[in-house]
Amino acid sequence: MVKLRMTKTGRNRHMTFRLVAADSRSPRDGRHIELLGHYDPHQKDNARKFSFDRERVEYWLGKGAQPSILVWSLLRKHGINKKTAGETRKKLSGKPA
């Protein structure tokens, strides 16, 4: 199963994170399928705090990838929810809406 989750990067006391699509069996900071974005909780500017490739995230959600709790909450703040994920899944499967 593919999961959308964060991997740790950065230095001591100033962690940054990358949003990746990874196999659920791989370790947290291990091998990933695709890099989708990044998250820096220390940024003052909210627009630069979390950035991601919306099209690719919707693609992975449409293919059935399961986001972690943190990733899901960040995506909801940027307008991606279960309804949009379901619409993308229908679009990718080729079934009429």
pLDDT tens by residue, 84-93: 777 777 777 7
Over residues 6-41, the pLDDT tens digits come to: 999 999 999 999 999 999 888 888 888 999 999 999
Over residues 48-82, the pLDDT tens digits come to: 889 999 989 988 988 889 999 989 988 988 888 77
CATH of the domain at 42: 3.30.1320.10
* Per-residue pLDDT band at 97 (split at 50, 70, 90): low
Phi/psi of residue 60, nearest 5 degrees: -65, -40
Query: Alpha helices, DSSP H only, in the chain?
Result: 46-49, 54-62, 69-77, 82-93
The parent domain of residue 12 ranges over 2-93
Helices 54-62, 82-93: axis angle to 10 degrees equals 70
Give the count of domains, the chain.
1
Q: Contact at 8 Å (CB) between 18 and 35?
A: yes
Q: Contact at 8 Å (CB) between 68 and 4?
A: yes
